[in-house]
Structure 1
Amino acid sequence: MSHYRRAYIPGGCYFFTAVTHHREAWFSTQENVDRLREAFRHVKNRHPFAIDAIVVLPDHIHTVWRLPDGDADFSLRWRLLKHYVAIKLSNGTNNRGEKQFWQRRFWEHVIRGETDWRNHIDYIHYNPVKHDYVTTPAQWPYSSNSQFKTLVK
Structure 2
Amino acid sequence: MPNYRRAFIPGGTWFFTVNLLERKNNDLLVREIDLLRETVRTVRKRHPFQIDAWVVLPEHMHAVWTLPPGDADFSKRWRLVKSGFSRALPKTEYRANVRKMAGERGIWQRHFWEHLIRDEADFERHVDYVHVNPVKHGLVARVADWPYSSFHRYVEGGVYPENWGGDLEISIAGDD
Higher helix share: 1
Deviations 1:75-131 (CA, angstroms, capped at 9, x unpaired):
000000000101122514422110111100100000000110000000000000001
Matched residue, 2:131: 125
Instruction: Quote how far apart the aligned CAs of 1:72 are.
Output: 0.3
- Count residues with an aligned counterpart: 144
1:1-153 counterparts in 2 under 5 A?
A: 4-23=4-23, 24-29=26-31, 32-89=32-89, 91=91, 92=93, 93=95, 94-95=99-100, 96-146=102-152
Consecutive unaligned residues in structure 2, runs of 5 or more? 154-176
Asked if the contact 1:140–1:146 (Cα under 8 Å) also holds between the matched residues in 2, the reply is no
TM (norm. structure 1) is 0.89
Moved over 3 A (4+): none
Superposition RMSD on alpha carbons, in Å? 1.6
Sort the Cα spacing of 1:117 and 1:5 in 2 relative to 1 into closer, same or farther, 3 A.
Answer: same
Instruction: Quote how far apart the aligned CAs of 1:22 are.
Output: 1.7
Deviations 1:28-63 (CA, angstroms, capped at 9, x unpaired):
41xx11010001100000000000000000000100
Higher strand share: 1
Asked if the contact 1:90–1:99 (Cα under 8 Å) also holds between the matched residues in 2, the reply is no
Deviates more, 1:94-103 or 1:136-145: 94-103
TM (norm. structure 2) is 0.78
**Aligned-residue identity in percent:** 53
Instruction: Quote how far apart the aligned CAs of 1:25 are.
Output: 2.4
For 2:107 and 2:19, the matched residues in 1 are separated by 9
Asked if the contact 2:30–2:56 (Cα under 8 Å) also holds between the matched residues in 1, the reply is no
Asked if the contact 1:10–1:69 (Cα under 8 Å) also holds between the matched residues in 2, the reply is yes
Instruction: Quote how far apart the aligned CAs of 1:4 are.
Output: 5.0
Sort the Cα spacing of 1:13 and 1:110 in 2 relative to 1 into closer, same or farther, 3 A.
Answer: same
Instruction: Quote how far apart the aligned CAs of 1:146 are.
Output: 2.4
Instruction: Quote how far apart the aligned CAs of 1:136 are.
Output: 1.1
Larger Rg: 2
Instruction: Quote how far apart the aligned CAs of 1:27 are.
Output: 1.8
Consecutive unaligned residues in structure 1, runs of 5 or more? 148-153
